[in-house]
């Protein structure tokens, strides 16, 4: 089914072509018509499935047709777990809203930065993308009212619950009008989420997008058996030997992320870390530089990876293995996206070996493991 059969405005169709969205993804094919018809949605889908556009496009269409709220009332509320995702979702709204003849204002609000500019920006906003804590602060200061919200989106709801936003979310629900459209997106369906889903959704269309096999098939996966002490030299060896220009490296802790980036810099490889302890400004700058191809290595923790959306990311390295196979798939899914081949390399210490075999089993794919002891690090620059 092409985009042209989805009842979208001709100017939006044009913008989709400009953005190189040639064919709707499965979640877009299912969600767009349903959301245009006012239905609730439960979308079990990961980042990379095209879920953002699957709600952004029909929401903008619906807003064009209806009344737009005024005086610090908003029409659409999108709740997200992290600042990075807030900015990313807002940007997709801005991109497509610019293609429409009627002015629709979208803003993103999140904690960790000054609240005043956000209070002012809320004036005249139609779509608000927010992390739960900051939203409540803005509600408490009367900067925004939720009583006219027509559509609520919960994006990456599983992550929101994992981050402990349950209470905040429940407080927010109480402030919303009873009659509204609810769109819930999550990578997984936990028991907690099942409760929210029952509380929230009215006869939803359930769309389940399995982790894309084709994506996984596109990714060249390999692993290196390596001791903890040799990880640094191995990393430098791989980056230099293969002349990697744009690498995303994952670590499990904030401390490790800083440490890996520091060591690379000391060895003349341009690297920066992004994690929850960095200021918002530093995170945004690093991400921008990395996206533009002006930063060779970005080191990130799992949480930060949610906001990293780069279409042609060629290399991902797991400096430390993630705990769950799901996170492993999510990490390596940063590469090989949208039909582009990529490469994912994992560092395996002797203690990780069993865990890595579990990951491979869950994924249904065997990964070739090389022994780093066979590599001669002496010639490292
Ligand atoms: P998401 O799952 O919303 O994070 O989107 C993942 C990536 O796929 C983003 O870089 C989008 O710009 C891109 N994308 C979304 N829908 C399409 C499409 N129909 N065709 C090509 N790229 C898409």
Q: What pLDDT digit, counting tens, does each position of 258-305 carry?
A: 999 999 999 999 999 988 788 878 888 888 898 888 999 999 987 666
Distance 99 CA to ligand 1 centre (A): 17
Q: Is 118 in the pocket of ligand 1 (CB under 6 A)?
A: no
| In the chain, domain spans | 3-208, 213-374
State which ligand 1 atom lies nearest to the alpha carbon of 45: 2
Distance 131 CA to ligand 1 centre (A): 22
Q: Is 154 helix (H, G, I), strand (E, B) or coil?
A: strand
User: What pLDDT does 303 receive?
Assistant: 66
**Block residue for tokens 């039909």:** 339
Q: What is the pLDDT of residues 214-250, one digit of tens each?
A: 467 778 899 999 999 999 999 999 999 889 999 999 9
Pairing state of beta strands 151-154 and 205-208?
unpaired
Q: Is 51 in the pocket of ligand 1 (CB under 6 A)?
A: yes
**Block residue for tokens 């080191």:** 299
Report which protein residue has its CA nearest ligand 1's atom 7. 48
Q: Is 306 in the pocket of ligand 1 (CB under 6 A)?
A: no
Distance 354 CA to ligand 1 centre (A): 34
Report which protein residue has its CA nearest ligand 1's atom 15. 50
Distance 117 CA to ligand 1 centre (A): 30
Report which protein residue has its CA nearest ligand 1's atom 14. 50
CA angle 255, 258, 259 (to 5 degrees): 80
Nearest to 257 by CA among 293, 286, 285: 286
* Ligand 1 pocket mutation pick from 1, 15, 19, 25 by most atoms within 8 angstroms of CB: 25
Separation between Cα atoms, residue 349 and residue 133, nearest integer Å: 38
* Ligand 1 pocket mutation pick from 2, 21, 159, 335 by most atoms within 8 angstroms of CB: 21
CATH among 3.30.420.40, 3.40.190.10, 3.40.50.300, 3.40.640.10 for 3-208: 3.40.50.300
Separation between Cα atoms, residue 90 and residue 19, nearest integer Å: 16
Q: Is 156 in the pocket of ligand 1 (CB under 6 A)?
A: no
State which ligand 1 atom lies nearest to the alpha carbon of 52: 3
Domains 3-208 and 213-374 share a fold: yes
Instruction: Return the structure tokens found at 40.
Output: 């609730």
The stretches in the chain having pLDDT less than 70 are 211-215, 303-312, 336-340, 379-381
Q: At what angle do helices 51-65 and 10-18 cross, to 10 degrees?
A: 150
Instruction: Return the structure tokens found at 324.
Output: 């769950």
Q: Is 341 left (phi over 0), alpha (psi -120 to 50) or beta?
A: beta
Distance 175 CA to ligand 1 centre (A): 32
Separation between Cα atoms, residue 251 and residue 270, nearest integer Å: 17
Q: How many residues make up the chain in this entry? A: 381
Query: For 109, phi and psi rounded to 5 degrees?
Result: -130, 140
pTM: 0.65
User: What pLDDT does 214 receive?
Assistant: 45
Q: Is 11 in the pocket of ligand 1 (CB under 6 A)?
A: no
Task: Note whether 156 and 81 are within 8 A (CB).
Answer: yes
Exposed e or buried b per residue across 94-118, where buried means at least 16 C-beta atoms within 10 angstroms of its C-beta? bebbebbeeebbbbbbbeeeeeeeb
Distance 338 CA to ligand 1 centre (A): 7
Query: For 216, phi and psi rounded to 5 degrees?
Result: -60, -40
Separation between Cα atoms, residue 77 and residue 357, nearest integer Å: 42
State which ligand 1 atom lies nearest to the alpha carbon of 88: 4
Q: Which stretch of DSSP H or E encloses residue 224? A: strand 219-225
Return the beta strands (E) in 118-178 as ranges.
127-130, 151-154
* Ligand 1 pocket mutation pick from 15, 16, 53, 308 by most atoms within 8 angstroms of CB: 53
Q: At what angle do helices 10-18 and 83-97 cross, to 10 degrees?
A: 120
Q: Is 215 in the pocket of ligand 1 (CB under 6 A)?
A: no
Nearest to 212 by CA among 329, 312, 305, 313: 329
State which ligand 1 atom lies nearest to the alpha carbon of 47: 2
In the CATH scheme, what is the code of domain 213-374? Answer: 3.40.50.300
């Amino acid at each position: 089914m092409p985009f042209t059969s989805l009842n979208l405005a001709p100017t939006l169709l044009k913008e989709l072509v400009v953005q190189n969205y040639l064919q709707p993804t499965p979640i877009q094919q299912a969600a767009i018509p349903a959301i245009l018809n006012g239905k609730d949605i439960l979308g079990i889908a990961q980042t990379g499935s095209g879920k953002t556009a699957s709600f952004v496009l029909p929401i903008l269409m619906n807003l064009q047709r209806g009344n737009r709220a005024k005086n610090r009332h908003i029409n659409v509320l999108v709740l997200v777990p992290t600042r990075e995702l807030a900015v990313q979702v807002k940007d997709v709204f801005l991109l497509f809203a610019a293609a429409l003849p009627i002015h629709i204002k979208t803003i993103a609000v999140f904690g960790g930065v000054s609240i005043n500019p956000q209070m002012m920006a809320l004036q005249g906003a139609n779509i608000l993308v927010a992390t739960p804590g900051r939203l409540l602060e803005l509600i408490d200061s009367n900067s925004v009212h939720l009583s006219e919200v027509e559509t609520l989106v919960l994006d990456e709801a599983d992550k929101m619950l994992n981050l402990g936003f349950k209470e905040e979310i429940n407080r927010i629900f109480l402030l919303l009008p009873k009659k509204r459209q609810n769109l819930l997106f999550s990578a997984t369906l936990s028991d907690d989420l099942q409760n929210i889903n029952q509380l929230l959704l009215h006869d939803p269309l359930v769309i389940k997008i399995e982790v894309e096999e084709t994506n996984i098939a596109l990714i060249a996966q390999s692993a290196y058996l390596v001791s903890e002490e040799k990880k640094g030299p191995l990393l430098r060896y791989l980056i230099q030997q293969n002349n990697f220009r744009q690498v995303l490296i994952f670590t499990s802790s904030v401390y490790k992320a800083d440490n890996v980036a520091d060591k690379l810099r000391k060895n003349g490889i341009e690297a920066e870390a992004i994690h929850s302890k960095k200021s918002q400004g530093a995170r945004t700058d690093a991400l921008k530089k990395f996206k533009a191809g002006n930063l060779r290595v970005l080191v990130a923790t799992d949480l930060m990876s949610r906001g990293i959306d780069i279409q042609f990311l060629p290399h991902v390295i797991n400096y430390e293995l993630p705990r769950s196979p799901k996170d492993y798939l999510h990490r390596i899914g940063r590469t090989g996206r949208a039909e582009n081949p990529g490469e994912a390399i994992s560092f395996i210490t002797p203690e990780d070996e069993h865990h890595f075999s579990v990951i491979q089993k869950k994924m249904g794919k065997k990964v070739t493991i090389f022994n780093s002891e066979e590599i001669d690090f002496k010639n490292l620059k």
